[in-house]
Structure 1
Amino acid sequence: TFGNNCGYITLGNYLRYLTVNDSVQYVIIVGGASFSSYVQNAQILNGTSGSNSSNRLQISFKANVKYCQFAAKNSSGILKVWTPADLV
């Protein structure tokens, strides 16, 4: 699923149940290694973007997991990938 104003996104192989929220641009989403090692249940939050087509943000989620994973830039502009349930 893709939100509004998304563009310049490169998708890897073996991705499923992926949500890309609004204004995500200039990213490369790394997929799984094979049909039996796929990335699923992942979400990229609003505004997560690289600088331009020459400086894309590469996002790698863990493969073969059943829990939700999220990716976004923090307030310092650093990409973070996390599982919310691990934070409690």
Structure 2
Amino acid sequence: TFGNYCWNNTFGNYLCYLIADDNVKYVAVVTAISSPGYVQRARILNGTSGSNSSNRLQIAFKTNAKGCQFAGLNSSGILKIWTPADLV
């Protein structure tokens, strides 16, 4: 599922149930070439963006994760990937 104003993104193989919120641009979701499993239930948060099409933000979600994974930029502009249930 893709939100509004998403463009210039690339997606690797072995992805299921991926959500890209609004304004996700210049992102590359990368996965292993011959992954033993799938990236499932992952979400890229609103406004997560790389610089341009030559410098995409690389997002590598874990395969076979038990919970939903989120990716987004923190307040310092650094990419973070996490599973919210692991934080409690």
Matched AA of 1:86: D
Structure 2: segments with no counterpart, 5+ residues: none
Other structure's SS at 1:77 match = coil
**1:51 and 2:51 aligned:** yes
Identity, % of aligned pairs? Answer: 68
Structure 2 match to 1:68: 68
Structure 1: segments with no counterpart, 5+ residues: none
Structure 1 match to 2:83: 83
TM-score of the superposition, structure 1-length normalised?
A: 0.93
CA distance in 1, matches of 2:81, 2:35: 22
Q: What CA RMSD, in Å, does the superposition of the two structures yield over aligned residues?
A: 1.3
Aligned length: 88
TM-score of the superposition, structure 2-length normalised?
A: 0.93
